[in-house]
Amino acid sequence: MIPLAGSAGYTLPFVGPGTYLIFGIVLAPVYLMVAAWFLGDPADVKKGLLGVGYLAGLTTSLWGSLFVATMVIKFLFF
């Protein structure tokens, strides 16, 4: 059954529609990109891992620095 927002919760297969939408459709080009880094020609495992490291490191530093900034706001104003 297609998981529509209007469907009752019990009719959904496992999770809500957002999970299918974001991880099934929107991020599909990213999966393809990462797969091509390792499986395409020419490819190099070390450079592929460098790319994955950038993806993971930037995500962490983005949210980490945002967390620090919000904690500074908390300390100064709340």
Partner 1 sequence: MSTGDVTDVGRDTLVRPITSFSRRYIAALVFALGLIGVWLFFYIQQLEHGLIVTNLSDWGSGGGVPWGTYIGSFIWWVGIAHGGIILSAAVRLIGLDTYQPVARMAELLTIAALSCAGLFILIHVGRPDRLVTSVLPAWPTRVQWSPLMWDVTVITAYFVLTATYLLLTIRYDIHRLRDRLPDAFEPVYGLLMVGYSEREDQIVERMVWWIAFAIIIMAPLLLHGGVIPWLFALLPSMAGWAGGVQGPSFLSIALTSAVAGIIIIAAAFRYAYGWEELIPDQIFRGLSKWLGFFSLMFLWLQLQQVMTGIFAAPTTLQHATEVKISTPVYWVAIGLVGVALAYIFAAALKPSLFSIRAMVGLSVAVLVGTLIEKTLFVVEGLQHAHFALYDGVPGPYVPSPVELSAIVGTIGIVVLFFLAVSKVIPVVELHAIQDDHEEVDA
Q: Which residues bind partner 1 (CB under 8 A)?
A: 5, 15-19, 21-22, 25-27, 29-30, 32-33, 36-37, 40, 42-44, 46-48, 50-51, 54-55, 58-59, 62-63, 66-67, 69-71, 73-74, 76-78
What span, in angstroms and rounded, lies between the C-alpha atoms of 54 and 5?
Answer: 35
Smallest CA-to-CA distance from 4 within 25, 21, 26 is with 21
Burial of 3 (0-12, 13-18, 19+ CB in 10 A): middle
Question: Minimum distance between the CB of residue 32 and partner 1, rounded to whole angstroms?
Answer: 7
Least Å distance, CB 22 to partner 1, is 5
